[in-house]
Amino acid sequence: MTVAASFEIPYLQCLDAHGQPVGALPAWAQDTAALVPLYRWMQRMRAYDAKAIALQRTGQLGTYASLLGKEAVEAGIGAAMRPEDVFLCTYRENGAQLMRGVSMRELFLYWGGDERGNRFERPIHDFPICVTIASQCLHAAGVAYALKFKREPRVAVCTLGDGASSKGDFYEALNAAGAWQLPLVIVLTNNQWAISVPRNAQSATQTLAQKGIAGGVPGLQVDGNDVIAVRQAIGEAIETARAGSGPTLIEAMTYRLSDHTTADDASRYRPAEELAEAWQREPIARLRGYLVAQGAWDKAQEDALLKAVNEEVQAAAQAYLDTPPPPVSQMFDHHYATLPAALAAQREEWLAGADGTDHPR
Amino acid sequence: MAQITLVEAVNLALARAMADDERVVVLGQDVGRNGGVFRATLGLFDRFGGERVIDTPLAEALIAGMAIGMAAEGLKPVAEIQFSGFAYTVIDQILNHAGRLRHRTQGRLSCPMVLRTPCGAGIHPPEHHSESPEAMFAHIPGIRVVYPSSPRRAYGLLLAAIRDPDPVVFLEPTRLYRLFKEEVADSGEALPLDQCMTLREGTDVTLVTWGAMVFDTLQAADELAEQGVMAEVIDCVTLKPLDLDTILASVARTGRCVIVSEAPRTAGFANEIAAGLAEHGLLTLLAPVMRVTAPDIVVPYAKLEHHYLPGQRQIVAAVRKTLEFA
């Protein structure tokens, strides 16, 4: 037999787990002034995340999916995308959404059970958080087709997790993106766990990135706890797509340091020592170690940053808590551009009974 | 004005919509060079090019999901699912996304797409090509379900569906694709959505139906007329949202109603109409509402298909029964 096809999956890491460069950093990252904003964003995300969990634990927010541990992936996406690009994300990318201009108050509104949180004021063309697993990949392929069709130099960026990579929607989108060379970047966060199912039970494939090869889409792995590597890889992929040179699949290797959601208890299925070991590789300490070693960050700056982000999330939480609940009519509104007569009649019927005592508010 | 078939009318409306609005794109399996397996998209590829008449990979969820992404980015996609039996895999996309995008974003994004699929039994095809999924689609909030039954209605309703700002599932009666011709003017004029159409006026009984069964119901009405029974025939046209008022007004005059559907009986769309009559028109009824439907079985393979579909004989028999009710 001869070889019909062969492939390699590159792996990119710029800083090791101790914050030491593993080689020459990308040109943009050699100036620490470019890295400090990424560090600030990651701390802001973590503070937001902690506040969301605190609100949930005190009965002031619904079920929430923590982003703890994947701040570098989110900062890489947020920094690499342009405002006019289109982001199609899951429920675990609130950090990247913040960087794209969605407000913390809007995100709290969403998790608090109010769809006004998906009517964020910017970026107006980004999709709402996708809850049904992997289905957003197909919308992203459609968005990318439309962007190419309109000759607009914009890129669709779609995210999913390791569990979602087992779904057909992911393959169908990859396959179409390859066939049409769409301006699409798919960022797959491999955090090792799909609720209670570990990565090795999810698929026998050696890497998830190589699933792209099956669709003719280049795949690569990055250290998802290394924001420099993530930013570099996603940035290159986005600009490749923008230049008309086709899609890329990026598998960001990280670890879910949280439970799946606030309704989950990962200690039921996950060894404590594995979690403790994963904390040794977490993204924020890693970049801080590098910045401190470079003399670009110190304790006073750290203290000031933490104080500032905590004040910010506190103010955002208060703004959320001060937002009046949605009117009952909101559950009918915007089902159609113009409510059909039959539905308008149901709306009137419901609103007439909305002040009853069956469901006191 | 040309005499054309229903499938030619679909083609005419697609061409018209694409010529009028460059945002309209057609996507599906074999819709390009092949012109669609039923030839509904014949000639569009040559006229409008492969970028607007898109042969997709063989993946139904992709077709529906991509249409959602395209629609949100300002295109007007018309997606084709080759046969209704293959449409079930797209229900996830229609239910969880197309019908919800406007509401989930409180009007920030919208989904002006059309999902076309041939529908219904009676052409002796392979398995999984004869299903009637209209009740499943009609159960989904945020969408419209439209089901034309003649060339003229197919033309006008498809134009209306494409121009509508919200998602429309457009079911095409395969059995009628080439059964008869009608004069259709390529006027660019849309027919109204959300309205039933009274195809024949009568005083003795109201026959309510949609899709391919409209043809059989009109024939039954002819037979009944010869026997001196004047049947009013209402084509629902838009199943969701349903124009119940037209049906109620007719039954208020006739006092009797037979609902005709080729879908299985349990939880079928006929039941929605019967429930509406029970709720709002009970005191106008002179006899129980009757249903003529298929049984609750899998659509039989070709050899037994003609035993499955209800037809003129069953419709006339049901009308006789309702007339005999004291």
DSSP characters over B85-96 = GGGGGGHHHIII
| Chain B residue with Cα closest to A177 | B57
Whether A71 contacts A226, CB under 8 Å: no
Edge-to-edge strand order for the sheet containing B290-294? B197-200, B231-235, B205-209, B257-264, B290-294
pLDDT in tens, B102-138: 999 999 999 999 999 999 999 888 888 999 999 999 9
Residue A360 has pLDDT above 50, yes or no: no
Closest CB to A139: pick one of B54, B97, B110.
B97
Q: What's the length of chain B?
A: 326
Which SS3 state, helix, strand or coil, does residue B326 take? coil
Which SS3 state, helix, strand or coil, does residue A189 take? strand
Residue B119 has φ and ψ, to the nearest 5°, of -150, 145
d(CA A58, CA B169): 44
Per CATH, the architecture of B2-184 is what? 3-Layer(aba) Sandwich (3.40)
Q: What is the mean pLDDT of the segment spanning A315-339? A: 96
Domain boundaries, chain A: 11-326, 327-361
Residue of A79, A105, A41, A32 whose CA lies nearest to A305: A41
Q: How close, in Å, is residue A118 to chain B by CA atoms?
A: 5
CB–CB contact B70 A146 (8 Å)? yes
Q: What is the mean pLDDT of the segment spanning B62-76? A: 98
Q: How close, in Å, is residue B96 to chain A by CA atoms?
A: 8
| Angle of CA points B111, B113, B119, to nearest 5° | 135
Reported confidence tier of residue A357, pLDDT bands at 50, 70, 90: very low
List helix spans (H) across B145-300: 151-163, 213-226, 244-254, 269-280
| Chain B residue with Cα closest to A132 | B96
> Would you say the CATH fold of B197-324 matches that of B2-184?
yes
Q: Among positive and negative, which fits the CA dihedral A268, A273, A274, A275? A: positive
Q: Give chain A's mean pLDDT.
A: 96
Residue A356 has pLDDT above 60, yes or no: no
Q: Give chain B's mean pLDDT.
A: 97
d(CA B29, CA B59): 8
Residue A361 has pLDDT above 50, yes or no: no
The distance of Cα B171 from the centroid of its chain, to the nearest Å, equals: 4
Residue A358 has pLDDT above 60, yes or no: no
Closest CB to A335: pick one of B92, B141, B243.
B141
| Chain B residue with Cα closest to A326 | B106
Strands (DSSP E) contained in chain B are 2-4, 24-28, 53-55, 76-80, 114-119, 144-146, 168-173, 182-184, 197-200, 205-209, 231-235, 238-240, 257-264, 290-294
Catalytic residue among A260, A281, A290, A320: A260
pLDDT in tens, A50-89: 999 999 999 999 999 999 999 999 999 999 999 999 999 9
d(CA A247, CA A237): 7
CB–CB contact A337 B67 (8 Å)? no
pLDDT in tens, A13-53: 999 999 999 999 999 999 999 999 999 999 999 999 999 99
Residue A211 has pLDDT above 50, yes or no: yes
Q: Which residues of A touch B59 (CB under 8 A)?
A: 168, 172, 175-176
For B128, the token pair is 């999984």
How high is the pLDDT of residue B243?
97
Residue A354 has pLDDT above 90, yes or no: no
Was domain A11-326 assigned CATH 3.40.50.720?
A: no
Tell me, yes or no, if A139 is annotated catalytic: no
Residue A116 is given by DSSP the state G
Closest CB to B62: pick one of A120, A173, A343.
A173
CATH class of domain segment(s) B197-324: alpha beta
Q: Which A residues, 168 through 187, put their C-beta within 8 Å of a C-beta on chain B?
A: 168-169, 172-173, 175-176, 179
Residue of B299, B13, B303, B320 whose CA lies nearest to B155: B13
Residue A359 has pLDDT above 70, yes or no: no
For B136, the token pair is 């499943």
Q: What is the mean pLDDT of the segment spanning B294-317? A: 94
CB–CB contact A138 B75 (8 Å)? no
Catalytic residue among B124, B129, B139, B280: B129
Q: Please, is B326 exposed, middle or buried when counting C-beta atoms within 10 Å of its C-beta (0-12, 13-18, 19+)? A: exposed
Domain boundaries, chain B: 2-184, 197-324
Q: What is the mean pLDDT of the segment spanning A171-195? A: 98
A346 touches chain B (CB under 8 A): no
Strands B231-235, B238-240: pairing kind:
unpaired
CB–CB contact B61 A141 (8 Å)? no
Percent with pLDDT over 70 in chain A: 98
* Complex ipTM: 0.96
CB–CB contact A143 B70 (8 Å)? yes
How high is the pLDDT of residue A355?
59
Residue A159 pairs with which residues in a beta bridge?
Answer: A187
How high is the pLDDT of residue A62?
97
Residue B326 has pLDDT above 80, yes or no: no
How high is the pLDDT of residue A353?
82
Residue A48 has φ and ψ, to the nearest 5°, of -60, -45
Tell me, yes or no, if A269 is annotated catalytic: yes
d(CA B202, CA A164): 57
| Angle of CA points B261, B112, A148, to nearest 5° | 130
A104 touches chain B (CB under 8 A): no
